[in-house]
Every structure is written in structure tokens, then in C-alpha cells.
Amino acid sequence: MNITIPASSLARLSAAALLLLLVGCSRQADPEPPASDQAIASEDAPEQAAAPQADDAAFTFEAEVYEASAEELLAARLPIEETTEGWIRLFDGHTMFGWMITGQANWRVEDGTLTADRGEACLLSTSTRWADFELEVEFQADAETNSGVFLRSVIDPKDAQTDCFEINIAPADNPFPTGSIVGREKCDVFAGDASQWHTMNLVCNGESLTVKIDDQVTCESDDAGSPRNGHIGLQFREGAIRFRNVRLRPLNLESLVDANLSKWKQYEEMPGDFTVNDDQAIVVDGGKQQLESTESYGDFTLLTDYKMDDPESNSGIFFRAIPGDEMMGYECQVNNAMVDGNPLQPADCGPGGIFRRQDARIVAGEPGRWNSILLAADGPHFATWVNGVQVTDVTDDRPADENPRRGTRVEPGTLILQGHDETTQATYRKIEIQPAP
């Protein structure tokens, strides 16, 4: 579910209140009918921002409201061959779901692109933070445009050497021309045609950062250890800038599945079975049952592939659960059912929905095929992607509580695979996790 928030109301909120609001459009009540997607804005602009141009001195911007049909969102899904490797779309091509505008620039969705060409210098930032990842993004910039892609960034970066990594998009006479890492590494002059689209590939892995443009390495750094986690930001500074096909995959995920389920605890007194088949996949067979991880996890990124032949079959992945208790945790729903065949109306929260916190905005999983779910948990903020499309973006703003069914839990807890009832039939062929640094 998405909640439409008038931009005029956002302008009156403090930066702190905006951040809490913007990173998830959370709710505390039980699931409600789906509403429209929305663009969202913040007053928390980066200090490094240049002053607005003279004709923009009185410029004000109100974020637009965007809607996408079920057909458009389903068409944005990625092939299973890519999602099983962790690839997701950060931009669905139609809405700004999962993004925050951090200042007064006219960021908008236009012809399948994220575009800005007027206003104050600021970032369009993901609400989710990322640690180790590969990012691909296509960009088109005017000849005099000064823009960039920010990695592991704070919301309001003040220093490119401590608060983020800024990959510049700028003219040849800039101290850090296109493809350079601002304040760290200057690359050779990029000779690309400003009127053409170019592909930027960025690999941020521990201490190392590699920048490619159109398959050519422009910069490499082995001193990228600080910061280790942060938002991804697209910058408007000067001149028109357009981005599209913004895709990411997390790196360094560790498998939790082996033939002996050595990283899991089974409860023999509970009905149903968890077994590993010849393909090294976990099979969930009936009963109200749980398979619980032996380790606890706080902030993490988790990737799984699931398959359920029955459209009504019900399972789930619990996280930050109370160890040894019966499914007392947050639940990432695994259920493909929908109301009257409408993908915009999940019958039971929807695949990737955070149960009782936010329904999936679309049922992007299908019975009878492999589907991928990527779950990012960072403090009280959760985001999920199903088959490459983001379906939830929520912040749990309830009072703190040990039990996530009653309140916000940020402390580590176990993972639990759920057998919901005697009709549950599900297969998980991979469960991989990347704990946050």
C-alpha cells in the first residue's frame, strides 16, 4: 500500500520528521486497499549544493503524484536468471517509490527517466541504505551539466571524502571530470558524446571501488572503507540530467542452505516437515511449523528464491524473531494470492509484504514458477523487491518492544521459515544473507 502525501504538507515538516516519514510511508493499522504511488520530498539539502541560478532564486517545487498500472509494474520485473543473482530495479520506470527528494529541485519521472533541470543542488536518494553492491545506471547529461552518482551516502553529505563516494558527471575542465571519484581519484577525460546515453557501472566492495563507463574502467580505488553503508543518490547541481535503468545487486551474500540444514533448528514436536531435496532446496511440507536459524541477525540484506504451485499456499520468512519462541518476529510474507485476480489487491499481504506493517503494492510473484525476494532490513526501515520490482518501503515507528508483533525491534533476532498450515507446500532453493557492516 502507498499513502499519498501532499507536497505542500511535506514542506512544513522538519528534516528529522521528514526522514522518518519519507523512508517508508509506514502505517500501524492492518492492511488497507492500495492507493497511488507518490513522489516524496525533503528539506534536508546537501551543504555542498551550489546556490540556485538567478532565475531560480524564488523557485519552489512541489513533488508530483505518480501512478502505475499493474501491467506497467509487472512488465518492469526482471528475468529470474537475473533476480536469482540479486539484481533489482531501484527505479521502476513509472514512479518514485523508494526514493526521496532531498531539496528544492524539480526531480520528476519523464519518459521513463528520472530527470531534473531546475532548482537547488540536491540529491534524489534511495530510502534504503546499501553496503557492498554492484550498481548500473544509464545517464544522459547536457555538455555543461554538473551532476553525479553518490554511493554509501548520508542524506545530507557535506564532505565527499567522509560522507559518501561521489562519482562525478561533469565537463572535461572540471577538477573531477565524468567518471572521477570526487576528492579521491581523478580519471582521464571522458570523451563520450553528451547527447548520447551512457552506462555507468559501479562496484563498491569493502575497501575497493571500481568505476566503469561504457565498459571502460575510468577509476579504481582501494581506499573506500569509509563510509561502509549508506544511501545511493542521484545529483542535480547544474544543467539537465537524466537517469534510467537504475539496477543494483548486493555482493557477498552467504548461503544458509546445506544438505544437513546445519545452520537451522527444527522443532520435531510441531507438525509438518522441512527437508532438503536432491537439488539442495528446502521443501516445506504442511503443518504449522517453523525452521529457525541458529544465528541471529539485526541489519541485513537477504535473498531467496521460492516456488509454490498452489496460488493459495501460504509461507513466510520471519526476521528479528525472539529466539526459541513461536514465530514472534517481523514477517516477510510469501503468498501469491490476490483478490479477484487483481495484482494490485493482495489477498494476504502479498509476496514481499511486511505483515501488519505494509502490504505489497503489487503481487509480483506467480504460482508454478521460481520467484525471487530481496529483503533489506536497516534499523526500523524495511524494503522488499519481488522479481526485481520494489513492493514495500516501510518504517516501523511504533514504540520499542522485544516482540515485533507489539512494537519496534531493532535488536538482532533469528530467521524463521514458516509452514503456515497443513496445506502449505513451498520450496526455497536459496537463502542467502549479507549482514550489514
pLDDT in tens, 135-188: 999 999 999 999 999 999 999 898 888 899 999 999 999 999 999 999 999 998
Residue 56 pLDDT: 55
Model confidence at 305: pLDDT above 70? yes
pLDDT in tens, 187-222: 987 888 888 999 999 999 999 999 999 999 999 998
Residues of the chain with CATH 2.60.120.560: 7-250, 254-435
**Cell 581506499 belongs to which residue?**
223
pTM of the model as a whole: 0.87
Taking 3-state DSSP, the helix, strand and coil percentages for the chain, each rounded to the nearest 5, stand at 5, 40, 55
Model confidence at 29: pLDDT above 70? no
Q: Which residues of 358-393 are buried (b: 16+ CB within 10 A; e: fewer)?
A: bbbbbbbbbeeebbbbbbbbbebbbbbbbbbbbbbb
Average of pLDDT values for 54-75? Answer: 81
pLDDT in tens, 359-408: 999 999 999 999 999 999 999 999 999 999 999 999 999 999 999 999 99
User: What is the DSSP-derived secondary structure letter of residue 131?
Assistant: S
pLDDT in tens, 102-145: 999 999 999 999 999 999 999 999 999 999 999 999 999 999 99
Model confidence at 63: pLDDT above 70? yes
Residue type, 346: P
Residue 287 pLDDT: 84
87 and 100 in contact (C-beta within 8 Å)?
no
Model confidence at 53: pLDDT above 50? no
Residues 6+ apart with CB under 8 A from 362: 70, 73, 74, 343, 344, 346, 350, 389, 391
Choose which CATH entry (3.40.50.1820, 2.60.120.560, 3.20.20.140, 2.30.40.10) describes domain 7-250.
2.60.120.560
Residue 271 pLDDT: 87
Cα(367)–Cα(306) distance, rounded to whole angstroms?
10
The C-alpha cell of 112 is what?
521513463
Residue 32 pLDDT: 36
Residue 227 pLDDT: 82
Beta-bridge partner residues of 430: 305
Fold of 254-435: Jelly Rolls (2.60.120)
Residue 55 pLDDT: 53
